[in-house]
Chain A
Amino acid sequence: MIRTSIATALTVASVTLLAACGSGQKSSAAPVADPFPSTYTVPTSGPVLIRGATVLTGLDTRLDDTDVLLADGRIKAVGKALAAGDATVIEAKGRTLTPGIIDVHSHLGVYPSPGVWATSDGNEATAPTTPDVWAEHSIWPQDPGFQTARAGGITSMEILPGSANLIGGRGVVVKNVPATTYQAMLFPGAKRSVKMACGENPKRVYGRDGGRAPSTGMGNVAGYRAAFIKATAYRAKWDAWNKEPNGTPPDRDLALDTLADVLRGNITVQVHCYRADQMVTMLDVAKEFGFRIAAFHHAVEAYKIANELAEAQTCGALWADWWGFKLEAWDAIRENIAFVDHAKAKAGPGCAIVHSDDPNGIQRLNQEAAKAMAAGRRAGLTIPEEHAIAWLTRNPAKAIGVLDQVGTIEVGKQADVVLWSGNPFSVYTRADLVWIDGALRLDRAHPPATPDSDFLLGADVDDVAATAGDAP
């Protein structure tokens, strides 16, 4: 599976190269496979043997007193009493190793800290349908929130546009590494996503506050359908031309490029939606145009349609307990995640994800999962920790299309792992060590002397000087 992905990535890269070389009129007009390719590189680091950990694999299994070997950016071996060889040995007795945590709903970089107009770039709220915009072009890599998220064990995240629009633009998957450009964070080979929103936000921003469509729920749905009717025709035109590229290529349209790729299955669909009835309507819209919704985000009422979501194999990306800020968030229950998880359908089991949508929440998604797990258990459901960890790792990886590379501790996968100081389902537990592609990216015992963010660098210069003056 992994080899396949690398092959895909290589193909993408070579297509890009060809396009960049200007191999003729056709390719200059046709969409470039990836105009903003990843430049992410993994720093060289030696092999690491994590010895004697409790391993929650993300595959519903718990391996006690187990060794995990990381080498060449991959998980090389999982087992008992592995030979260290030349690996750096980490004694992990009493600590828990999990796959790196993946947040499928982040606005880090696009709504960074501090929250000022200059960098608040998450919503292109000038038209209700803007599939032409890409969240990555709003990312400010100096957002201090990336570093604090890493301290919470976040190794990858999907950064999405906001939810003002019916179709808000493309989201992007990044590895949570310090970088000067966003391209240097891009998860190689990961699909982009499209962010859609139902409910109150679009009709408020445009109808109530903007005096134009949509101003109602029905206006919202008409908006998605109108966009996908155009996209269907556009896709047909381009697919025909791609098959037989004769004559002048069709006119390109950035917005329809995105939606056509949704229809082709090249882009995952992430829908902000709270109410049960509206989610089912969105499933119908998806069916009408032949695309699949990867996940409903926020989905405070997902528990009401847990079985329907399982049948559609659409995940619920949820908070543990946020509620009440809007009427569509009024029917929250603490058991939402556990109920979505517990659902069963012919198509498969339910898929629950803990997400943050918040620079503070992303720092402790493990605690949010713990709250949801505890609430589910109290309601009488059986939820072992080795299962609940999947809400933070395997399921998010599946929803954003990177499960073949990360999300579980399996030999051959990318070495994105977190060693926790204790049980990750505790408020007192912290991430001790975080590896991304086998490179140590957080060591709590040895914090860096200066912040990763250029923006914060020197913010405390006078206080540091004052403290130095106090020294004997």
Chain B
Amino acid sequence: MTRTEPMKSRTRQLTLNLIAAALLAGAGAASAAVTAIRNAQVMTVAGAGTIERGTVLIRNGRIEAVGADVAIPEGAAIIDGSGKVLTPGIFVARSELGLKEIDAVDETNDVASRQSRYTAALDVTDALNPRSALLPVNRIEGVTRTLTAPETGKGGGLFAGQGAIISLAGALAEPGAFVVRPRAAMFAVLGEQAKGIAGTSRTSSIAAFREALEEAKSNGLRLGSGLSNDAQLSALDIEALRPVLTGETPLVITAHRASDILAALKLADDYRLRLIISGATEAHLVAKELAAARVPVLIDPTRNLPAQFEGLHARPDSALILRKAGVVFAFVDSDDKGTHNARNLRQVAGIAVSCGYPKDQALAAITLQPAEILGLSTVLGSIEAGKIADLVLWDGDPLEVTTAATAVWIDGVPMPMISRQTLLRDRYLQRIKAADVK
């Protein structure tokens, strides 16, 4: 394939720089005091590997220094990490955090825009709720960033709209620091979930997909009346697709069957799109093609059952196969509880390890790799001097199910370790213990 490497496009680099600047500005607003976390086992997810007894300095929201022999400046607030493990914050590469409270309470749920006349133009940033109760529940367990995506599938368009990268600090974030990057990616769907949106076949959805891209390419010139909903793209939808065509905005296509992934690769090649495949149950069958096209994937390595026909070849070691083939990927939790329990992504990584995936790499797949795929690895995803101080201190192996986070920093700010759930626990713990006394 001959498409240009999108990361090298000048527009893209400029955007990245601006975002990095904005991120660091947000972080800079934090306290100027220095925090030192010392004596922790530091899993840097960077060249330094794991430092058995390391120190990390946080200043102005950034990691100032990391190493085994870092001098702690006078007056620094000292956190003793003895017997604990420090990792980068967990970056959930796809969730619906900030977009919904309760799935079945429609009033609180903005993930899907059924019967809307808009598709690609939908921008989750317009609906994000920094006071969502889900944010504290997940951040006290180590989740610090996520790409919040609109739901793809029936009832919406082939294009579901644009997602945003957010900080789990939510309402605690400095002004402007909650939404890290609005319109960070366009979301779309192919395969079984696309059937019934624009005609009832894979052929009709691909045709509608092409028509939409052609319309955007030709400045909104209508190509015909068409039969599909997506052929009647609004002016706003067409506008929203333009940065996708320039490669500035990545296009995340949900596809599972190997042939659907290849169809997406063909679209990306024809239109020079910056493609990311999401779901990708059968990605291991087309690992060579994905690697050659340098298209990253978001996969759930725990899925070993054919939840749908399009995942008939699901297997528990798909991540291992992708890795060997040189495909870039991040782990996501495909469970429909994966937003409320974004906190369980580290369990997903642990399960991958139990199926043979290398342990150090599994942590990277939920920290650095998501940042890399989304073009943020210069500022997020690992513990390196100069990066944003998103850090988690664990009371043990971070991928182990019995381990818990004991402290979490986002943009260098320590997060209060309370959520609605811990408050309920404390209220009823008293009742449980009162019965002991009787």
Contacts and interface: CB of A to CB of B under 8 A. Distances in A.
Q: Do A and B bind each other?
A: yes
A426 B428 contact: no
B432 A374 contact: no
B425 A370 contact: no
B435 A359 contact: no
Chain B residues touching A, majority SS: loop
Interface string B298-315: 000011111111011100
Interface in A434-461: 456, 459-460
A307 B313 CA distance: 47
B5 interface: no
Given A321-B344, A360-B302, A374 B102 contact: no
A343 B432 contact: yes
A378 B404 contact: yes
Contact of A333 (B105, B305, B401, B425): B425
B14 to A, nearest CB: 39
A148 interface: yes
A243 interface: no
B313 A459 contact: yes
Contacts of B353: 427-428
Contacts, number: 133
Contact of B307 (A115, A378, A430): A115
Listed residue (A304, A321, A344, A373) with the most chain B CB atoms within 10 angstroms of its CB: A321
A324 B102 contact: yes
Contacts of A460: 313
Contact of B425 (A345, A373, A379): A379
A150 interface: no
Contacts of A360: 302-303, 305, 335
B363 to A, nearest CB: 13
A360 B300 CA distance: 12
B428 A339 contact: yes
Interface in A146-200: 148, 200
B408 to A, nearest CB: 16
Contacts of A374: 401-404
Interface string B188-204: 00000000000000000
A16 interface: no
A374 B395 CA distance: 11
A333 B424 contact: yes
Given A200-B104, A324-B134, A344-B435, A425 B402 contact: yes
A232 interface: no
Contact of B104 (A115, A326, A342, A363): A326
A246 to B, nearest CB: 54
B354 interface: yes
Contacts of A322: 337, 340-341
Chain A residues touching B, majority SS: loop
A375 to B, nearest CB: 8
B285 interface: yes
A144 interface: yes
A335 interface: yes
Interface of A: 113-116, 144-145, 148, 200, 204, 303-304, 306-307, 321-327, 330-335, 339, 342-345, 359-360, 363-364, 367, 370-371, 373-375, 378-380, 425-430, 456, 459-460, 463
A324 B432 CA distance: 24
Given A333-B421, A374-B402, A428 B354 contact: yes
Given A321-B341, A325-B336, A334 B305 contact: no
Nearest to A204: B104
A371 B435 contact: no
Contacts of B429: 335, 339, 379-380
B103 interface: yes
A427 B101 contact: no
B378 interface: no
Nearest to A370: B401
Q: Which 6 A-B pairs have the closest CB atoms?
A: A427-B350, A324-B340, A374-B402, A326-B104, A325-B103, A113-B305
Given A324-B101, A463-B313, A148 B305 contact: yes
Contacts of B422: 333
Contacts of A427: 347, 350-351, 353-354, 399-401
A378 B417 CA distance: 13
B74 interface: no
Nearest to B402: A374
Given A342-B432, A428-B350, A145 B336 contact: no
B69 interface: no
Given A148-B305, A304-B428, A363-B304, 19 more contacts: A113-B306, A145-B305, A148-B304, A322-B340, A324-B101, A325-B336, A326-B105, A327-B105, A333-B428, A335-B429, A339-B428, A339-B432, A344-B436, A379-B429, A425-B402, A426-B401, A427-B354, A427-B399, A463-B285
Contacts of B307: 113-115
Contacts of B306: 113-114, 144, 456, 459
A114 B401 contact: no
Contacts of B101: 324
Contacts of B102: 324-327, 330
B57 to A, nearest CB: 29
Interface in B336-362: 336-337, 340-341, 343-344, 347, 350-351, 353-354
A120 to B, nearest CB: 12
Nearest to A429: B354
Contacts of A145: 305
Contacts of A333: 421-422, 424-425, 428
Contacts of A304: 428, 431
Listed residue (B311, B337, B347, B402) with the most chain A CB atoms within 10 angstroms of its CB: B402
11 contacts: A204-B104, A307-B432, A324-B337, A326-B103, A327-B105, A335-B429, A339-B429, A343-B435, A344-B436, A427-B354, A428-B350
Contacts of A370: 401-402
Interface in B87-140: 101-105, 134
A260 to B, nearest CB: 35
A323 to B, nearest CB: 6
A342 B431 CA distance: 11
B350 A334 contact: no
Contacts of A330: 102
Listed residue (B353, B404, B428, B431) with the most chain A CB atoms within 10 angstroms of its CB: B428
A184 to B, nearest CB: 22
A453 to B, nearest CB: 10
Contacts of B354: 427-430
Contacts of B402: 370-371, 373-374, 425-426
Interface in B56-109: 101-105
A147 B225 CA distance: 50
A116 B337 contact: no
Nearest to B400: A427
A323 B354 CA distance: 26
Contacts of B105: 326-327
Listed residue (B302, B309, B337, B343) with the most chain A CB atoms within 10 angstroms of its CB: B337
A375 B353 CA distance: 23
B400 A426 contact: yes
Contact of B435 (A148, A307, A332): A307
A77 B58 CA distance: 60
